[in-house]
Structure 1
Amino acid sequence: MTDPVQRLAREVARNLGDGPGPIRRERQRAAVARLTRAPQRAPRSAWWLVPLVAAAVVALILARPTTTSAPLTVAVAQQAVMVGSWLAAPEHEALVLEFSDRSRAELTAGTAARLVKVESTRVELHLERGAVALDVQPAPGREWFVIAGPFTVELSDAASSATWHPDTRTLIVEVRRGSAAIGGDAPPTRLTAGQRLELRDQPAGAAHSAIPSANNPPPPSPSTNKTPSAKPSPAATAKSPPSPRQPTWIELAEAGDHTAALAAAEQLGFGPLLKDLEVDDLDLLARCARFAGDGPRARDALQALRRRFPGDSRARTAAFLLGRVVLDLEHDPARAREWFTTYLSEAPDGALAGDAQRRLDELGPQK
């Protein structure tokens, strides 16, 4: 706003005219010029407004609600992925989706899925078959959904895996960090860290059922009150049903029960397995340990894979996975930096090169 004195001076200048005499006219013009010159600083009386204005600006910034309006993007090996894309992990290698908010989705080998929605408030992945491991970073108002058959897995700040078997219509969910809600036609079930749930889609008209697992054994059936005999008769022994066969660690792993699979492998002897397993099973054992959150076992299995099968492409991938294990599970940034650097030196154009470089950038220069 123009100062009133300046407005008055400009009005005087317009009506002054030449006036009497050149000397007087020159003095009048000089006086008008002094009056119309822009002030060098604000009037002293206005300085008290400055802190009030600053406080108002700060209050507006603090009062503004946090939103997730920033666009969310996703890439695979530094290549943008379009919404609606079908995703298929190779037979012997995982497919990693990197989101711009540092969330990740790892499709295990042979997994097929479709990225249906990527929005600031909702990310939706349809799992056609196989397993996906999600590491979701918290963002206010943003929710993540994995759709598998009739089931929906919802999470917003969690590390969780979901395995879908379309042939048996079975969903298995494990939570390592945070919590997840699993819903379908029945009311949702919430899982927290360390819990696992297995659900099977029943035929029309039947409710979904939870299947007992090694982690959640069924309750014992009530026994009848019979006096035990000192010695069972041969006929009774012949008619008694055989005890059910326990699933192998490989069957448990393929079913998605990584914790139970790791426990079954431990019973066989983890060390001997590292020496005897073929590359496919050794890779599967390392995956079980990673998904179960056992850093030392995952590290041992991945290092054994690299040592015994150096010519296999999975040996290079194991270098990247070792970086993730020692960083995410063992919290050793220095070792993680070494493994990510090793992966980039062995596979500079590999599918995980972008992820490895990003993690190196986040770790910063070596101290």
Structure 2
Amino acid sequence: MITISLPTYDIEIEQGLLNQLNEKIKTIYKYNKLFIITDETVHELYQEKVNQILKEFEVYWIKIKPGEKSKSILVYEETINHLIDLGIKRNHLIIALGGGVVGDLAGFIASSIYRGLPYIQVPTTLLAQVDSSVGGKTGIDTSRGKNLIGAFYNPKYVLIDPNVLETLEPLEYANGIAEMIKCGLIGNKELYLHLKNKKPITKKEIAQAINVKVNVVKIDPFDQKERMYLNFGHTFGHAIEKRHHYEKYKHGQAISYGMLIALELGIQLGITPNYLYDEVKEMFLYYKLINEPLLDKKDYLDLIALDKKNIADKLHFIFIEDIEKPIIKPVRSTDI
């Protein structure tokens, strides 16, 4: 087992670890009721198995529709009301079982219902395992943009079982690869080269990607400076998702286009070496995260003005000088 320890919680990674969920919960929780927030797809796949694993507990399931549109104020309120109707009280434990949407929504609910309940993350997609389940960011979207309402709120524990990835469709799996490529670019050359060579993903590479995020979060827990490195590709990526109503492109696809735009801009500004753009583009094409002709950044310029990384009248844009060498450079959106 690989254990990554943060100041207030542990992340554990191991094949078959889901089967130990009962024992893990007992180490951090002394009550009998559990409230699992998940989506309909994950519920269908795992309800029977998880109920058997947690048979010593009184388990309540709350299902949402799969997809980014469930990260809304409406679903947030509906889910909280459902939890209250089921009898959730202070100190009861919430389990986020699912992908990034479930994790972000459940985490934000945990941060705010009764001014804060404990929760754990059990991510079931590669993207959630290496990204949204780690770092304490929770939130929901509004009509103005993605993740504009949220809180920094850490789980009590994160359980990562690579075996659950066997149920993912190829594009959903590639979604996570996009995030791992980003992590390699900003913080781990070994991981980057592993992905460049199209080698299989194991718990080691999952841990490497997580450690890139953990190391940055430890330095900058509240997203003021270095943590912004994790947003490489996300400025245009979030704009692409919003322009297409979170339907046409999955998150990994959108940030793949966003990373290429950032690399291209870096080359134009004399920051990024040419070879890096070509290598990364080839990787995205291999994993079917992008298609040619590529998206035109001009079609999304109006939306980046709402990006959370805007400070005053400038956008804190993340560029790559070379592998493991990200930088933050303030630029005006009108100059992009």
TM-score of the aligned structures, taking structure 2 as reference length: 0.30
**Greater share of helix:** 2
Higher relative contact order (CA 8 A, sep 6+): 2
